[in-house]
Structure 1
């Protein structure tokens, strides 16, 4: 177990380093090409933090471990809200000014309900996967269109996420390093997570839900806490909602599309997907109210996340 844990943690570290490198490299190239910093910032907020998870999940699918990938995709959504957003709010209350956040949350709720309904027959077909992936493109385009009306403060915060002045060669090197780090990290995680899960008495699905999902969320958690301390609540919430939509629409949809369909266990439709839905619904009063996530609200979200972990472990023990 010690060996599997060590390699697993090393894989997580490589994923985190690769994710950071790809954001800097892509931002630098976009700046060099004179693309809009605001548009680039929106796209990276939606996609950047999910790239390591994308790599892990697709590596797992190609390695024949779809249960691990399925657990990681939905477990990451639960961790996004119940751990990342909650912990950031407990460190510093999050003031949300970005107008697109409320529509994105409604889209997340709708996407979760859609996945539950599509998976009632125990499977996401290739066609359904294609529809989910297409829905992500539509969501991203809608977000770009709606975000254009935001005030100068929000735009400056988003543009600042991509600010860099490094030269072309250095940014190309960053991208190359990122590809190598993320590839190696995903390989290590997919190779050693099942060994670690087996040692802990976890099924492949549960391994994806707990150690892999929580482990891949830790770099996002650190970044969210730092952003909360800087007063950048919009970035924290944007990362959480964007990453969650990527997991549901692009990851699950892509897995079903590429694999010619994706089997979804009945227990997953009964427990894990509804848990992700409940945590998303808990955000509705927050984003429809004072647009502020207080320390108390963060504590409630964290308590819900902790209760979910206890529930999952009790299912395993039972």
Structure 2
């Protein structure tokens, strides 16, 4: 019960910290000279990934690399299957941002690259550095292609960044957010192993299932609210940007810090599953540029099937 209490408290702190750091980072970026449009694009690219980054950084720091790897890859599957699926079930996601389709292709390529790099069972420091450089290149592509979006889309992205505030307000928000994320990540990591053991899960599967799903629940709620406001671009953009961030920055950063063992099961099952979810989404973004309720139901059912398969393999 104590472990469950710390786990739930950690999730609450991560949710609060994630919201605060997004607002603070956006305000600070604008204070440093970024336009609201650029600040909005950067938030779409990795704003919702910062709580996962805090958890994974804490896990790597205390030597729980398996937990961090499971959370990084599991979060992608949760984002693509559960978050998008539930949001689309609540209201169809209308997508006008043209750069999301090529970003999805980049996500598929990045996942394939991670599989190839992990064939020898480890992601080394040099390979991790390559992943980090790939993220920098992706940001350059995002900013270049984003400038070519239609004016209504650019206006929505700029409005999403929120208003600029005074320096002290931006720094205060960031300070509070960092404290919340630090303690949230600490409580999650220290309780996840205990909870996983009580459920018969390895640290890898603890990160893949309860941690990834639990930390995604605030994002699911935020995605549903954004969908009801007609912000389908933001929902899909967050999911794809967050998934790229997890693969390139989180996994790449972990490997640079310390060579990252990649289990055979990840190369054969979890990473191909992440590719399968991305491929399912590709025709939705290239067809009528919407994710319908029916397509959302398919994504949720596929996610449930993946969870059942993971649990069945434990038997």
Give unpaired runs (5+ residues) of structure 1.
none
1:311 corresponds to? 309
Give unpaired runs (5+ residues) of structure 2.
none
1:274 corresponds to? 272
1:258 corresponds to? 257
TM-score (norm 2): 0.98
For residues 314 and 71 of structure 1, the distance between their equivalents in structure 2, rounded to whole angstroms, comes to 17
1:82-126 deviations in whole A, cap 9, x for unaligned?
001111111110111101101100000000101011111111111
For residues 233 and 247 of structure 1, the distance between their equivalents in structure 2, rounded to whole angstroms, comes to 21
1:231 corresponds to? 230
TM-score (norm 1): 0.97
Per the TM alignment, residue 180 of structure 1 is displaced from its structure 2 partner at its CA by 0.4
1:285 corresponds to? 283
Alpha-carbon RMSD: 1.0
Matches within 5 A, 1:104-183: 104-183=103-182
1:74 corresponds to? 73
Aligned length: 315
Contact 1:24/1:164 (8 A) holds in 2: no
Per the TM alignment, residue 241 of structure 1 is displaced from its structure 2 partner at its CA by 0.2
1:137-172 deviations in whole A, cap 9, x for unaligned?
101110110010111111111111111254332221
1:59 and 2:58 equivalent?
yes
Classify 1:206/1:35 alpha carbon distance in 2 versus 1 (closer, same or farther; 3 Å): same
Q: Any idea what SS the aligned residue of 1:121 has?
A: coil
1:93 corresponds to? 92
For residues 152 and 89 of structure 2, the distance between their equivalents in structure 1, rounded to whole angstroms, comes to 23
Query: Segments of 4+ in structure 1 off by > 4 A?
Result: none
